[in-house]
Amino acid sequence: MTFMKGTEEKFLKIFRDNKAAIGNFAGCSHLDLLRDVQNPNIFTTYSHWESEGALNEYRNSALFSIVWSQTKLLFDDQPQAHSYGDFY
């Protein structure tokens, strides 16, 4: 996610305020926030979900709606989402 310069702390507050609720959401077993070393206004959330269905439950939840409505106001570019499965 690329944020408008100067809004990084607003995003970090949103993330900190909601990290426990997201991490404890049914089906989520891991949640991290990564920050680009060379572009400090670019972040990636890295999470593990027990299934695509569990991730979709979160995406359709009131919690996601609240977090996303606050977060998307800070974007400087279209966010990208990628899903990966076990390879080995």
pTM above 0.75, yes or no: yes
What per-residue confidence (pLDDT) applies to 50? 95
| Integer CA distances (angstroms), 86 to 29, 40, 54, in order | 15, 29, 16
Q: Does the residue 10 lie in any domain?
A: no
87 pLDDT above the threshold of 90: no
Q: Does the residue 31 lie in any domain?
A: yes
Any idea what the CATH number is for the domain that residue 56 is in?
3.30.70.100
pLDDT, one tens digit per residue, over 15-47 is: 999 999 999 999 999 999 999 999 999 999 999
- Overall number of domains in the chain: 1
Contact 71, 1 (CB under 8 A): yes
Q: Does the residue 11 lie in any domain?
A: no
Q: Does the residue 56 lie in any domain?
A: yes
What per-residue confidence (pLDDT) applies to 85? 82
pLDDT, one tens digit per residue, over 41-76 is: 999 999 999 999 999 999 999 999 999 999 999 999
Q: Does the residue 33 lie in any domain?
A: yes
Q: Does the residue 40 lie in any domain?
A: yes
Q: Does the residue 63 lie in any domain?
A: yes
Q: Does the residue 5 lie in any domain?
A: no
Strands (E), 16-83: 28-35, 43-49
What range defines the domain where residue 26 resides? Answer: 16-74
What per-residue confidence (pLDDT) applies to 53? 96
